[in-house]
Structure 1
Amino acid sequence: MSKSPFLNQVRTELRTRQYSLRTEKSYLHWIKCFIRFHDLSHPQKMGNQEIEHFLNHLAVDRHVSAATQNQALCAIIFLYRHVIGREIVDLRYQNTRTPKRIPTVLGEEEVKMVMAHLKGKYWLITAILYGAGLRIQEALSLRVKDIDFASQAIFIFNGKGRKDRYSLLPKSLFEPLKSQIEVVKKIHQQDISQGAGMSSVPPAIYRKYKDSLKTQGWQFLFPSTHRCMHPYDGYLCRHHLHASAYARQLRQAVSASNIVKRVTAHTFRHSFATRLLENGTDIRTVQELLGHTDLRTTEIYTHVVGNRRAGTISPVDFL
């Protein structure tokens, strides 16, 4: 916990409203930046002018992205609405519109090239991203019990927007997944022999299933290398692999593949959706598999497919 009673109050409010740990860390970061920017003045004594000054500083002086500006604004609005107890109105600053861009997509050969330079769990994570269209945090948060070989489905618990859904479980991944589950089993047995064996779970699940959390089904499919103390409930547990560890391996694989496109974990999700549409999958099915609330979010992939299938020939090709 922070030494500041005020920041502890903010943290308590975030946890009471069940914000994710990532959001908690992000909001606390921006709130601290806001307070430090104004020479440690208490937010109670500040208002619209100070908020606008800080947000303009981020945009003009620090050149942060539109998404980062919006995140900082959301953190400050949360602070005043739920902690200070004051609504911020007539703010001369609106959410910055994030530019709509066509997503970067890899072709099948490019995917093969990248995956050829990945091994073990990093290869398997990439295969799940591309084969099931998961976000990186969804893939890393998978537990052994979420893999349903009988139904050929992957269960995604509490995905973006706090929604549960199912996605495809590719048949070609059956054996690699079973091998990974055996790895998890060995790590889990070692933890139990050392008096541990608990998996990291949200507080509400901890209270409800506390006696079951040492079972193999609750263990993460891609466990972290080291155990840690749970940030909320304080018990010794094993969390999942950190996204930065995967990102590091992916950068190396992309570099070794000599691919000039900007490739991130999300690129495989984009490629999954595009490939399904190219193969004639109904867009509503793609929307369901991706977990999109709004069909318009899914429709962006039709632009990628359209660009490739329009059949338009460039004039230079006639020369």
Structure 2
Amino acid sequence: MKSAEILAKFDMVARRRVALSTERSYRSWIVQYLAFLVTAKGRAAEGSEAKMEVFLSQMAHDDYSSVSQNQAFNALLFLYRHILKVEIGDVSALRCPRKQRERYVPTQSEISAMFAHLKNTPTYNIRLLAALLYACGLRVKSGCELRIKDFDLERMVLTIHEDKGDKDRQVAIPEILLPAIRRQIARATALAQIDIDAMQPVQLPGRLDRKYPSKQFEIGWHFLFPSPHPCPHPRTKKIVRWRIGEDVIQRAIKRAAQAAGIPGKVTPHCLRHSYCSDLMDAGHSPRRVQEAMGHSDIRTTMGYARKECLDLPSPIDRLPRKSA
């Protein structure tokens, strides 16, 4: 099968099996792998497992991160299993080193200073979206994809659908954000009604628009932070109402952090880190925090706890001092 045929089949199969962001990542790695197969190293390796081993080992030699190597490995597994219909055995590639790095967790004073420099645009309520990321511990993608129906203001509950690992979870809505949420829902509802009257569909997850076509024209399914103009769906090319892009909030938070003079690299995901760490520091049960964060393993949650070593006194304090 030629490279063009493989990629065409991949595009068709991937849209039914993986998220759009995963599809783009897998496609990039598969393109690199297909280019590798026509090189001398690629042709010299015999068997699919051997070719994968050489490709992945070369990534380790080229100093790729372990995250990138794992991503490439999963992309190649998808290629062989779902596109080429070939079962892969053991692959013993040289592994990229897994580097242990400290998460940057902004303090509450830093977050407050950054929020003071966040500015809304004529199109988007940036301040509310950033506040939801911190107040509810949302991942940036989940925050951008919030829909009107996700908010139960009577019970003060927010439901996050299809979060990492394709899991749903619920978190409490802070009372302080209720007025801003109500205003944003009213704004999003008004735009949704204009779309419904014009028979302009909203983008739905997966193939839901085919299974339940009427949901494209239900107010509850419209985004809380809708895009200003309809645009082509990246897969189907159908004109739909989309939502705010992750890059919009990423740039806004970066500018606000710089304006506030925060020295660390602040991203929207750092607000999720702060949500977890602040709850742990406040003495809340790790199990409750784990459930709110959507972590599968309690060890992931405990990684956000304040380092006990920071309370250790330095032995230099006990050295005898010369009197003046």
- TM-score normalized by structure 2? 0.87
2:216 is equivalent to residue 217 of structure 1: no
| Amino acid in structure 2 at the alignment position of 1:275 | D
- Find the aligned partners of 2:158 and 2:221 in 1 and give their Cα distance: 15
- Contact 2:119–2:127 under 8 Å retained in 1: yes
- Contact 2:59–2:96 under 8 Å retained in 1: no
Which residue, out of 157, 162, 172, partners 1:153?
Answer: 157
Per-residue CA deviations over 1:138-158 (Å, capped at 9, x if unaligned) read: 111110110111111110011
CA distance 1:300–1:233, shift in 2 (3 Å): same
Per-residue CA deviations over 1:233-267 (Å, capped at 9, x if unaligned) read: 55321111111111111111111111111211111
- Find the aligned partners of 2:14 and 2:222 in 1 and give their Cα distance: 26
- Contact 2:202–2:241 under 8 Å retained in 1: yes
What residue in structure 1 maps to residue 259 of structure 2? Answer: 256
| Amino acid in structure 2 at the alignment position of 1:208 | K
CA distance 1:59–1:148, shift in 2 (3 Å): same
What residue in structure 2 maps to residue 37 of structure 1? Answer: 36
SS in 2 for 1:4: helix
What residue in structure 1 maps to residue 287 of structure 2? Answer: 284
SS in 2 for 1:200: coil
- TM-score normalized by structure 1? 0.88
| Amino acid in structure 2 at the alignment position of 1:314 | S
- Find the aligned partners of 1:196 and 1:58 in 2 and give their Cα distance: 49
Per-residue CA deviations over 1:65-86 (Å, capped at 9, x if unaligned) read: 2211111111012211222222
- Find the aligned partners of 2:215 and 2:36 in 1 and give their Cα distance: 46
What residue in structure 2 maps to residue 84 of structure 1? Answer: 84
What residue in structure 2 maps to residue 53 of structure 1? Answer: 54
Unpaired runs of at least 5, structure 1: none
SS in 1 for 2:128: helix
- Find the aligned partners of 1:262 and 1:220 in 2 and give their Cα distance: 29
- Contact 1:203–1:233 under 8 Å retained in 2: no
- Contact 2:149–2:220 under 8 Å retained in 1: yes
Per-residue CA deviations over 1:157-215 (Å, capped at 9, x if unaligned) read: 1111111110121111111111212221233244345x343211123322333213212
| Amino acid in structure 2 at the alignment position of 1:25 | R
Q: After superposition, where does 1:159-170 map in structure 2 within 5 Å?
A: 159-170=163-174
2:120 is equivalent to residue 123 of structure 1: no
Per-residue CA deviations over 1:38-89 (Å, capped at 9, x if unaligned) read: 33889xx86334323322333333x332211111111012211222222333
Q: After superposition, where does 1:199-210 map in structure 2 within 5 Å?
A: 199-210=202-213
- Find the aligned partners of 1:35 and 1:275 in 2 and give their Cα distance: 46
What residue in structure 2 maps to residue 241 of structure 1? Answer: 244
- Contact 1:122–1:246 under 8 Å retained in 2: yes
- Find the aligned partners of 2:215 and 2:87 in 1 and give their Cα distance: 43
CA distance 1:123–1:305, shift in 2 (3 Å): farther
**Deviation at residue 135 of structure 1 after TM alignment:** 0.6
Aligned residues: 310
| Amino acid in structure 1 at the alignment position of 2:130 | T
Per-residue CA deviations over 1:273-297 (Å, capped at 9, x if unaligned) read: 1111111111110000000111111
CA distance 1:95–1:180, shift in 2 (3 Å): farther
CA distance 1:226–1:59, shift in 2 (3 Å): farther
Unpaired runs of at least 5, structure 2: none
- Contact 2:130–2:249 under 8 Å retained in 1: no
What residue in structure 1 maps to residue 272 of structure 2? Answer: 269
How big is the alpha-carbon RMSD for the aligned residues of Structure 1 and Structure 2?
2.5
Per-residue CA deviations over 1:86-140 (Å, capped at 9, x if unaligned) read: 2333423165453343322111110001111112322111111110011111111
What residue in structure 2 maps to residue 108 of structure 1? Answer: 108
Q: Percent identity?
A: 33
Q: Which has the larger radius of gyration?
A: 2
- Contact 1:189–1:197 under 8 Å retained in 2: no
